Each structure stands twice: as C-alpha cells, then as structure tokens.
A = this chain, B = another copy of it.
Amino acid sequence: MAEDKPKAPEAEGAENSVPGSSGATPRGRTRIQQRNIEAILEAALDVFSAQGFRGATLDQIAAAAGLSKPNLLYYFPSKEAIHIALLTSLLDIWLAPLREMEASGDAKAEIMGYMRRKLQMSREMPRESRLFANEILQGAPRMGEMLSTDLKALVDAKAAVIRGWAAAGQIAPVDPYHLIFAIWALTQHYADFDVQVRAVLGPEHDDPCTEAERFLTPLFERLLAP
C-alpha cells in the first residue's frame, strides 16, 4: 500500500493523440479538480505562448494559476504533460474553422469565410496561435505525429473539396494545398508577428487585423476569380 498513489487526477488524456470529437476540456471529476485544471491550462497557455516551452517555468505557471508548484504537479505529472495537454486540447479548436468549410456551400464564400474565421482567431486567440507557432518552429517535437496524421488527413480532405470546386469552374484552378498554406500564413502572421506588425505600422494603428481584413478580402477575391 506504500506505492499506491492517492488518486492522481491525470487531467487531459496524454495517450489519446486524437481527441476526435469527445469532450475536449471538461474531464476532471471533482468540481475543484475541474476548476484547478482549467486554471492551470489557462495559465500555461499564457506562459507557454509568451515564453515557449523551455522559456516557461513551473513557478511562472503556478503563480499565474494561483497555485503552488507542487500543487501543479499534483494535477499534472510533469511540465511536458501540461504542454501536451494544452496542445491536444486546443488542436480541435484550432482546426475548427477549416472543418467548417463544407463542399456543399458556395466555393468562394466558403473559402472567404474560412479566411475570415481564421483571421478572427488571430485577433481573438493570439496566444493559441503563438503556442502552435512555437511548437512548429521548434520542429514540432510534441506534435509531429498529429501533423502527419490528423492534420494531413483533414487538409487532404479539404484540398480535395477545393480541387472539386476548381474543376467545376467555381474558382480559379489554384493548388489547394498552397492556398490553405497561404490562408494560414496570411492570417496567423498577424498574431505570431504582432509586435513586428505594430512596430512597423506605428502606434496610431490600433487593430492591424481589421486593416488586414480589408486587404485580404480583395486579395483572395482576385486570386479565386475564375
């Protein structure tokens, strides 16, 4: 009985590489577990997105979550577990805009809508954007698997949809993969490189994303016009 851990909430499933469509965030049993786990993930999102994985410290996360460091490690077995839990629990949210793009809709409207939703996420969820950007920049050591399985599968499917639209003459015949890359690059740029954008634009511009939408809308309209 000496080696039997008390309970170990374990929080987010680390083995479950593909949460699919199960309940993403709410998992903890007790009310207090759920509250603390949520606070930890929120704090970790703040710190990891701002400092990167190595740059973040457990003390920073604990302080931001209003908990003690050992208490963090009561809910998560390690720093890396927190990071993985964050990434997996946010991947669904992050890819939702692409999932919403449906073949049954109007081609141009669907793509423009996707671009706009992605841009809105850059504005409203810049921390998530930077979290993923950090992970990818470092070579995706904790997400590489997901990229070449889940993400690739989703993009493959949507690329086929776009190719169908192009074949039907609804949009210009563009490479669907690089079209998606372009949407990613052009929208996430405003979240990931925010400081640079603001430094270049100067202090008077208050919301670069709004300007970006006025720039990107005609860009994609011209690109997609058959």
A74 at the interface (CB under 8 A from B): no
Q: How many copies does the complex hold?
A: 2
Distance (whole angstroms) from the CB of A190 to the closest CB of chain B: 8
The reply to whether B186 and A144 contact each other, CB–CB distance below 8 Å, is no
Residue interface bits A4-18, CB-to-B below 8 A is 1, else 0: 000000000000000
CA distance A7 to B223 in the complex (A): 59
Q: How large is the interface on A (under 10, 10 to 19, 20 to 34, 35 or more residues)?
A: 35 or more
CA distance A225 to B50 in the complex (A): 39
Q: For chain A, residues 161 to 198, give those with C-beta under 8 angstroms from any C-beta of chain B.
A: 174-175, 177-182, 184-186, 188-190, 192-193, 195-197
A sample of 11 inter-chain contacts (CB < 8 A) reads A130-B137, A136-B193, A140-B196, A151-B199, A152-B199, A175-B211, A182-B215, A184-B193, A185-B193, A219-B223, A222-B222
Besides the known contacts A52-B54, A52-B55, A54-B54, 16 further A-B residue pairs in the complex with CB atoms under 8 A apart: A50-B138, A50-B139, A51-B138, A130-B137, A133-B133, A133-B192, A137-B192, A144-B199, A152-B202, A177-B200, A179-B215, A180-B200, A182-B219, A218-B223, A219-B219, A222-B225
